[in-house]
Each structure stands twice: as structure tokens, then as C-alpha cells.
């Protein structure tokens, strides 16, 4: 089978099937072998691994994954790509293609079937418009995932790794850092894709923690507070939380909790670490 890491081969496949890129699926196919190699190295794919690939496209990275892993499950939403994948992956008997929206797939059942319930590694070139729902959906559902190595928009990668007090710091930073250790594996310019996106991309590896780095009595409640705070990030915590009617918390309760922590009534959420949010949520 022709190596799809070579742009000429990618063009030949697209022409053979008269494939048209769908803007609604945010399709940008990777056409750089070096970047693919860096993704595989960052993901640490070995011969015993079961890999879930989200958005295989025409199967470019899937071919490389199939060479290294024991089993690959590729989830592709675009039904027009299914016959192409049947062709480009025909040489591999360790690949299963599922034509479905990843947000609707029962990943836990899939992991049970393909890997006996043991943790899988996720690899994905994610469409930018749906990056956060996919990553958070996998973390919050407690599916056995060992790591996620994902291609995301450069700005999203920066938000994932942002520290308190910076402009990129927000609900996504806190959520990712609660579940995983995030590390940049590669920066990828637009010319590594077909068609070229308008933005630069970054490969991030999210190595899941066995236990979160902080303990909150109710993590769901903590994240509801975090979302309320960053929905109105220019306001003080007292006002942003009291304005979030769904939390059912009064200004007096917020002030009391902040006082217990030795914090100013004028403090803003963007200065709070994950540990402080856990402590604050427990006090409330």
C-alpha cells in the first residue's frame, strides 16, 4: 500500500475517489512523515498497545499506528471516507473502522471488547471546533484511557498548559490539569496539512494521572464553580459565583469561604490554583 505520509500519494487517493473536503467536519489531513513520527514517539505506541484513533481521515496515521500497535480502532464520522479507508487499510488485519461520531460512541464498551477493559492510548488529529468536548468527554466519563496524544490548535494547547494569573488560564486549563500531565510534543505549521488550515497546530500529550493531584469532596461541584468563575472572569469571585443562580450560593457564603482561606473579598478566580479551587469548593 502506498505510504500516505507522502503528499503525492495522498493527492492520488483523493483524486481516485473524487473526495471533497467537508468544512463541517473540520478536515485537514496530515501530509508530513516527520510530524507523524513525532506523534507516534510522543504517544509511546508499542506492540502490546490498543489504540483508539479519532478522525483517521484517509488513514495516513492509521497505517503507521497499525505497524506499531497490536490493535487500532479508528473512529471516523464522515461516511464518504469509509470506502477510502477500506482501500488504504486493506493490508492491515489489526484495524477496525467505526463510522460514527466519537461523542456518541460507547468507548467503555469498545475498550472492554478490544482490550479486555485495560487502558487504551488515544491518538487524534482533532477538528478545532470540537476539541474540548472530545477531550473532556473522555476524561469525565472515566473511560480507561492511559494517555491522549492530540493535535490541537496552538492556542488551545497553550490554554491547556496555562498557569494562574495568565491570560490563557481558564476552565480548560484547570480541567486538563486535574486529569492529566500535559506536555507539548511538537509544533506543526499549516503547510503540513492538506488543505492548509488558517492556524498553527500543536501536538500535546496528556498523560492521565492515576489519582488527581488535588482532592475535592465533589469534583463535579468544583468544576461547576470553576465554570461560573470563568464565565465572568473580569468579575470578582464574590460576584461571579453569586450571579450563577444554578449554584445556589449567596455572596455571604462566598465571603465567608474566602475569609476562611485568608483571601481578599476582591480576589478574582484567575489567580486561584487548582488546589485553592478544591479547598474553596469544599468550604462552600
97-101 long-range Cβ contacts below 8 angstroms, 24+ apart: 97/56, 98/73, 98/74, 100/75, 100/76, 101/77
Position 11 scores a pLDDT of: 87
Position 24 scores a pLDDT of: 81
Position 1 scores a pLDDT of: 58
Which domains does the chain carry?
7-208 (3.40.50.150), 219-283 (1.10.8.100)
- Round to the nearest angstrom and report the end-to-end CA distance of the chain: 60
Residue 141 has pLDDT above 90, yes or no: no
Pairing state of beta strands 71-76 and 95-99?
Answer: parallel
C-alpha cell at position 17: 475517489
Nearest to 30 by CA among 66, 3, 69: 3
C-alpha cell at position 175: 480541567
Q: Where are the beta strands (DSSP E) in the chain?
A: 29-30, 50-54, 71-76, 95-99, 120-125, 145-153, 180-188, 193-194, 201-208
Residue 51 and residue 72 in contact, taking contact as beta carbons nearer than 8 Å: yes
The string of DSSP codes covering 230-256 is: HHTTTS-HHHHHHH-GGG---HHHHHH
Residue 9 and residue 2 in contact, taking contact as beta carbons nearer than 8 Å: yes
pLDDT band (50, 70, 90) for residue 4: confident
> CA-to-CA distance for 270 and 281, rounded, in angstroms?
15
More confident residue, 121 or 195: 121
C-alpha cell at position 245: 443562580
Kindly report the pTM of this predicted structure: 0.92
Residue 29 and residue 10 in contact, taking contact as beta carbons nearer than 8 Å: yes
82's enclosing H/E stretch is: helix 82-88
pLDDT band (50, 70, 90) for residue 2: low
Q: Which residues pair with 124 in a beta bridge?
A: 54, 150
Number of Cβ within 10 Å of residue 51's Cβ equals 27
Average pLDDT over residues 47-64: 96
Average pLDDT over residues 259-281: 96
Amino acid at each position: 500500500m502506498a505510504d500516505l505520509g507522502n503528499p503525492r500519494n495522498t493527492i492520488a487517493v483523493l483524486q481516485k475517489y473524487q473526495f471533497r473536503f467537508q468544512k463541517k467536519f473540520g478536515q485537514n489531513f496530515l501530509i508530513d512523515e516527520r510530524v507523524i513520527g513525532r506523534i507516534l514517539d510522543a504517544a509511546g505506541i508499542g506492540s502490546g498497545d490498543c489504540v483508539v484513533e479519532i478522525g483517521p481521515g484517509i488513514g495516513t496515521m492509521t497505517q503507521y499506528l497499525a505497524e506499531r500497535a497490536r490493535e487500532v480502532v479508528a473512529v471516523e464520522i464522515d461516511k464518504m471516507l469509509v470506502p477510502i479507508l477500506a482501500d488504504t487499510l486493506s493490508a492491515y488485519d489489526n484495524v477496525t473502522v467505526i463510522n460514527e461520531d466519537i461523542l456518541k460512541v460507547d468507548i467503555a464498551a469498545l475498550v472492554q471488547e478490544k482490550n479486555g477493559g485495560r487502558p487504551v492510548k488515544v491518538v487524534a488529529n482533532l477538528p478545532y471546533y470540537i476539541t474540548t468536548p472530545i477531550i473532556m468527554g473522555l476524561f469525565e466519563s472515566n473511560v480507561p484511557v492511559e494517555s491522549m496524544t492530540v493535535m490541537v490548535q496552538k492556542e488551545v494547547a497553550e490554554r491547556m498548559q496555562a498557569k494562574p494569573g495568565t491570560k490563557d488560564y481558564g476552565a480548560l486549563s484547570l480541567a486538563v490539569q486535574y486529569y492529566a500531565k500535559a506536555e507539548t510534543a511538537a509544533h506543526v505549521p499549516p503547510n503540513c496539512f492538506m488543505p492548509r488550515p488558517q492556524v498553527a497546530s500543536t501536538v500535546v500529550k496528556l498523560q492521565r494521572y492515576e489519582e488527581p493531584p488535588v482532592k475535592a469532596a465533589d469534583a463535579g461541584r468544583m468544576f461547576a464553580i470553576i465554570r461560573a468563575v470563568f464565565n465572568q472572569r473580569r468579575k470578582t469571585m464574590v460576584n461571579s459565583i453569586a450571579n450563577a443562580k444554578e449554584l445556589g450560593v449567596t455572596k455571604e457564603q462566598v465571603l465567608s469561604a474566602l475569609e476562611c482561606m485568608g483571601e481578599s473579598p476582591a480576589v478574582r478566580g484567575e489567580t486561584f490554583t487548582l488546589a485553592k479551587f478544591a479547598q474553596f469548593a469544599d468550604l462552600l
